[in-house]
Amino acid sequence: MALNLIMLGPPGAGKGTQAERFARTRGIPKISTGEILREAVQAGTEIGLRAKSVMDRGELVGDEVMIGIVRDRLQRPDALSGFILDGFPRTVAQASALDAMLDGRDPLIVVDIVVPEQELIRRLSTRLICKECGQTAPSGDELSSRCRKCSGELVQRTDDSQGVVRERLRIYHASTEPVVNFYRARPTFRSIDGAQAADQVAADLAAAIAAAGNGNVR
């Protein structure tokens, strides 16, 4: 059975870190729409140029672009045996489109990572990414100047200033929280506490996925 997983949660909840860690242990691809878009921005593609000004304002890229990106990615051979989606869906329209994409494939497991808003603001306003490879620096690297992965310069993302962070969270509550409600009644939906230490979040995530995969309902 393929493991088809969505990681939900507000900006700064640790979705990307946990998704990458879990994908590595399971040998399935982590599909981050944010990374795909940032690559397009760096490459100066048409989609990248259209997305850059929207992302810099902390707003969401439109449904049509995001659905097209994900549809293409899920059709690649490495995603047929399972995947982890990070950053998609972010609207109910995207969630409905994803259901259509996965028609006939194994059930979708959905995990929502919950973190208090003040902690999210603290995390995001101190978060750094690598200017070269786009990797997010691990928590605790705020005083470092170089990426652990490629030694590139660590910088603050343009959408991580406090004003933009608050706007991103406002948009999340308005646009993406309805996605949580879209999935909440499903037997494969789980919610975990993302304010804990990363190792404990990882353990809770693995347990939640195992329970959802076994059809256990809380």
Rg from Cα positions in the chain: 17
The answer to whether 127 is a known catalytic residue is: yes
90 catalytic, yes or no? yes
Catalytic residue among 15, 52, 73, 123: 15
Instruction: Based on the residue annotation, tell me whether 57 is a catalytic residue of this protein.
Output: no
50 catalytically annotated: no
- Which one from 30, 38, 73, 168 is the annotated catalytic residue? 168
Catalytic residue flag (residue 73): no
Residues 6 or more apart whose Cβ sits within 8 Å of residue 25:
none
In the DSSP assignment, the letter for residue 138 is P
Beta bridge partners, 192, equal 113
113: left (phi over 0), alpha (psi -120 to 50) or beta: beta
- Torsion sign over Cα 174, 188, 93, 11: positive
Q: Which of 38, 90, 123, 190 is catalytic?
A: 90
* Residue 200 token pair: 């404990």
Catalytic residues, which ones? 15, 90, 127, 157, 168
